[in-house]
């Protein structure tokens, strides 16, 4: 059955919204952590977004839609802590030091790590997928070459290579969560899953913020630019971005939806240069291009593989 022009237009608009929403998230984090404590600001971001989704789902689908079994609840909270809590908690800290464009390119390699986890789990990859994995590892290595990346001006002289590895660790946690999620008992409704994941991440980040001796008053007394960044993360980054992503998964080919993985870093790198005057050093340019091409290869191969399996089943 041919796809109507109306659906094609909606898909095109949805992709544009998703590219902007998630590609600009790095800028939103940078604005937020200028005067807000990083862990608490991310905690309150997820708490606010999860509450909004909770209310939305309750009124739209009924409050029973939010009921979970004990296993579903524990799985959702665990995945939220692992992926959102660790992944974005480390990002919020690291963006004080690591240029936004570099951070986005490291995170862009997430499909590479997920494919690598499947390979280690005896899921034999195709040759083209293996080439993408190896290429992605090479690209990340080039980006993270010590002494080549220039830290952000307000980094306080901290070691930018160390913080790049911290982002990489958070990205590995996110990829691990993506890998093990299908093997866990989670809510079938992706919005319900996201609600509890964000709630779990919010609680974990709040506890981490208290341990790190961050102050709620510092959050409340932040600058207007930080408040603008925080509100942007809650509304555009979390609510709009994820809702559009969920709709696209149901109405567009996975190969098309997955293009966010290599379009978002291009948006983030460009904005980092325009807004923060970040320097595009040779290692970032060469390594970034290799990563983006490698991710495109892996996403295409893995998406075709998923579609083939679904047709067989």
**What whole-number distance in Å separates Cα of residue 252 and Cα of residue 127?**
26
What pLDDT does residue 312 have? Answer: 33
Residues contacting residue 245 through CB under 8 Å, at least 6 positions apart: 18, 257, 260
Look at residue 255 in the predicted model and tell me its pLDDT: 66
For position 232, what pLDDT does the model report?
95
Distance of CA 194 to the CA centre of its chain: 13
Give pairs for 252-255: CB < 8 Å, separation 24+: 252/11, 252/14, 252/15, 253/303, 253/307, 254/303, 254/306, 254/307, 255/299, 255/300, 255/303, 255/304, 255/307
Scored b (16 or more CB within 10 A) or e, 250-274 reads eebeeeebbbbbbbbbbbbbebbee
pLDDT at 216: 95
Contact between 64 and 233 (Cβ < 8 Å): no
pLDDT of residue 309: 34
Question: What crossing angle do the helices spanning 110-120 and 160-180 adopt, rounded to 10°?
Answer: 60
Question: 257: domain range?
Answer: 5-312
Average pLDDT across the chain, whole number: 86
| CB 196, CB 44: distance < 8 Å | no
C-alpha angle 228-28-22 in degrees, rounded to nearest 5 = 130
- CA–CA gap between residue 77 and residue 199 (Å, rounded): 7
Question: pTM of the full predicted structure?
Answer: 0.85
Q: Please report the pLDDT score of residue 313 as a whole number.
A: 32
pLDDT at 249: 72
Report the pLDDT value the prediction gives residue 311, as an integer from 0 to 100.
Answer: 34
User: What pLDDT is attached to residue 254?
Assistant: 66
Predicted local distance difference test score (pLDDT) of residue 120:
79
Per-residue pLDDT tens listing for the chain (313 residues)? 445 668 888 888 988 998 888 889 999 999 999 999 999 999 999 999 999 999 999 999 999 999 999 999 999 999 999 999 999 899 998 998 999 989 999 988 888 888 888 777 777 777 888 888 889 889 999 998 887 888 887 777 788 999 999 999 998 998 888 888 888 998 888 889 889 999 999 999 999 999 999 999 999 999 999 999 999 999 998 888 878 887 887 777 766 777 777 788 888 889 988 998 888 889 889 999 998 898 888 877 766 555 443 333 3
Angle at the Cα of 264 (from 131 to 24), degrees rounded to 5?
A: 155
HSE of 59 in the Cβ direction (CA atoms, 13 Å)? 5
The count of structural domains within the chain is 1
Nearest to 201 by CA among 55, 84, 33: 84
Q: Quick one: CA dihedral 35, 174, 52, 257, positive or negative?
A: positive
Tokens matching residue 286 = 């060469």
Angle (CA) 106-111-115 rounded to 5° is 125
From CA 261, how far away is CA 175, in angstroms rounded?
13
How many CA atoms, within 13 angstroms, populate the side-chain half-sphere of residue 82? 16
Q: Among 53, 58, 111, which Cα is nearest to 80's?
A: 53
CA distance 175 to 249: 19
């Amino acid at each position: 059955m041919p796809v109507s022009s109306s659906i094609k237009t909606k898909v095109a608009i949805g992709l544009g919204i998703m590219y902007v929403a998630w590609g600009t998230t790095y800028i939103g984090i940078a604005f937020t952590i200028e005067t807000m404590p990083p862990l608490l600001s991310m905690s309150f971001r997820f708490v606010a977004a999860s509450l909004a989704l909770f209310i939305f789902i309750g009124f739209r689908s009924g409050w029973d839609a939010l009921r979970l079994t004990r296993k579903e609840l524990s799985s959702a909270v665990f995945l939220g802590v692992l992926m959102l809590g660790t992944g974005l908690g480390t990002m919020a800290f690291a963006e004080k030091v690591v240029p936004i464009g570099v951070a986005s390119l490291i995170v862009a390699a997430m499909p590479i790590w997920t494919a690598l986890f499947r390979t280690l789990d005896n899921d034999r990859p195709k040759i083209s997928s293996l080439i993408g994995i190896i290429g992605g590892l090479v690209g990340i290595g080039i980006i993270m070459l010590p002494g080549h990346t220039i830290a952000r001006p307000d980094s306080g002289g901290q070691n930018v290579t160390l913080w790049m590895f911290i982002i990489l660790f958070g990205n590995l946690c996110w990829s691990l969560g993506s890998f093990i999620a299908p093997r866990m008992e989670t809510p079938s409704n992706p919005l319900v899953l996201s609600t509890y994941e964000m709630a779990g991440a919010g609680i974990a980040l709040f506890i981490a913020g208290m341990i790190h001796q961050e102050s709620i008053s510092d959050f409340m007394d932040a600058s207007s630019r930080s408040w603008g960044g925080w509100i942007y993360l809650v509304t555009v980054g979390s609510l709009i971005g994820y809702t559009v992503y969920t709709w696209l998964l149901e109405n567009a080919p996975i190969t098309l939806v997955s293009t966010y993985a290599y379009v978002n870093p291009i948006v983030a790198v460009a904005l980092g240069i325009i807004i923060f005057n970040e320097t595009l050093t040779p290692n970032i340019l060469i390594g970034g291009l290799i990563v983006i091409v490698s991710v495109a290869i892996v996403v295409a191969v893995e998406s075709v593989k998923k579609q083939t399996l679904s047709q067989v089943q």
